[in-house]
Amino acid sequence: MKVDGQHFRSIWLEPDGWSVGAIDQRRLPHEFIITRITTAEEAGEGIRSMLVRGAPLIGATAAYGMALAMRAEASDTTLERAYRMLIESRPTAINLKWALDEMQRALAPLPASARAEAAYARAREIADEDVAINRDIGRHGLGLIEKIAATKRPGDVVNVLTHCNAGWLATVDWGTATSPIYQAHDRGVRVHVWVDETRPRNQGASLTAWELGHHGVPHTVIPDNTGGHVMQHRMVDLAIVGTDRVAANGDVCNKIGTYLKALAAHDNGVPFYVALPSPTIDFSIDDGIRQIPIEQRAASEVTHLTGRTSDGRIETVRVVPEGSQVANFGFDVTPARLVTGLITERGVVRADRAALASAFPERAGVS
Ligand code: MRU
């Protein structure tokens, strides 16, 4: 998507042909800083520290991390060590394991001398595939938005609520939840987005709002607690969120707070859609609520807030009393029964075992 008229992806191969460029997402929305990742360790640290984040982008970064490891030294030991180091960088998004398994499958049978080139080629494919998948997700989601627009008076706005950042910054390009929104906006459908701020790290307020603003999509940032109110007062036509892992039964794991939005949507008859690329489906897990590992992050994400002062300095301040205990669960699981549909690259799929397996038989192992 565009930043000040220039097309960007969230991750790319630098013109030197080996190092990896990325946008440092910890600095947005105040500073647009491009950084270079030059080792597998830096890729792992970039994922851990959330320099890059969002399930598909975590996967693409790990794939490039493997390529950087192979460039340095392509033995079986390095392959195994880089896989282990990268897979431990964040626990919840299954795209990380998916991408690392893809890399290992492509590289393990090769002689060491052929691994670096093959690793860069597969990493680039994974990134390009993500862009194509997200474009298709957008096409299918666009149909849903257009259907709602057709029920409105000419010129009326379709109001979409989203949570966290499942935008182009969380993927390689387009985003998942935002792809239908960008495509609708680009086609002249009037859309407005309610952007949940998404405490504690504020991915909605700092990343989704930044993205939508740079693309010219009308949006309003709301505190996380506002979703129920705007749904109750008919100010939301549909919710679209992303996901870090969908279990085989259709349960959806996403940024903490998603479940509460799904409950509010259910109570108010607001359609609640989840947009996802197929690598986000974990067919090895039958019950999302019981089996998906939920990342717990540093207390400082809750106790402190970072922002720009009126004289332009970036400062971090404490907002919780010293000594109070803090819990920081990064994700929650929305039961499949609260999900109206899963917007995938192959169309809108029911959130249940049979529908997922029939849409992706090769992944479900039932073909
Ligand atoms: O902790 P984050 O910022 O990596 O969490 C991101 C989300 O929860 C996204 O909604 C999810 O990864 C889907 S991104 C297309």
CA separation for the pair 105, 117 (Å, rounded): 15
The tokens describing 179, both together, are 């792809």
Query: Annotated active-site positions, please?
Result: 244
Closest ligand 1 atom to the C-alpha of 163? Answer: 10
Centre of ligand 1 from the C-alpha of residue 244, in Å: 6
Residue 103 CB neighbour total at 10 angstroms: 29
Closest ligand 1 atom to the C-alpha of 171? Answer: 15
Residues with Cβ < 8 Å from 317, sequence gap 6 or more?
Answer: 304, 305, 306, 307
pLDDT in tens, 38-95: 999 999 999 999 999 999 999 999 999 999 999 999 999 999 999 999 999 999 999 9
pLDDT in tens, 325-347: 999 999 999 999 999 999 999 99
Fold topology of 138-364:
Rossmann fold (3.40.50)
Stated pTM of the model:
0.97
Centre of ligand 1 from the C-alpha of residue 153, in Å: 34
Q: What residues does 255 pair with on adjacent strands?
A: 331
Fold topology of 2-129:
Four Helix Bundle (Hemerythrin (Met), subunit A) (1.20.120)
CA separation for the pair 36, 21 (Å, rounded): 5
Q: What residues does 20 pair with on adjacent strands?
A: 13, 37
Which amino acid appears at position 300 of this protein?
Answer: S
The tokens describing 113, both together, are 């001398």
What crossing angle do the helices spanning 55-72 and 112-150 adopt, rounded to 10°? 170
**Strand, helix or coil for residue 313:** coil
Confidence category of residue 367, pLDDT binned at 50, 70, 90: very low
Phi-psi bin for 305: left (phi > 0), alpha (psi -120 to 50), beta? beta
Mean pLDDT of 249-269: 98
pLDDT in tens, 119-175: 999 999 999 999 999 999 999 999 999 999 999 998 899 999 999 999 999 999 999
Closest Cα to atom 8 of ligand 1: 255
Ligand 1 residue neighbourhood (C-beta within 6 Å): 53-56, 93, 164, 166, 170-171, 176, 203, 242-244, 254-255, 330
Residues with Cβ < 8 Å from 16, sequence gap 6 or more?
Answer: none
C-beta of residue 274 within 8 angstroms of C-beta of residue 250: no
Burial 298-324 (b: 16+ CB within 10 A, else e): eeebbbebeeeeeeeeeeeeeeeeeee
> What are the sequence ranges of the domains in the chain?
2-129, 138-364
C-beta of residue 142 within 8 angstroms of C-beta of residue 185: no
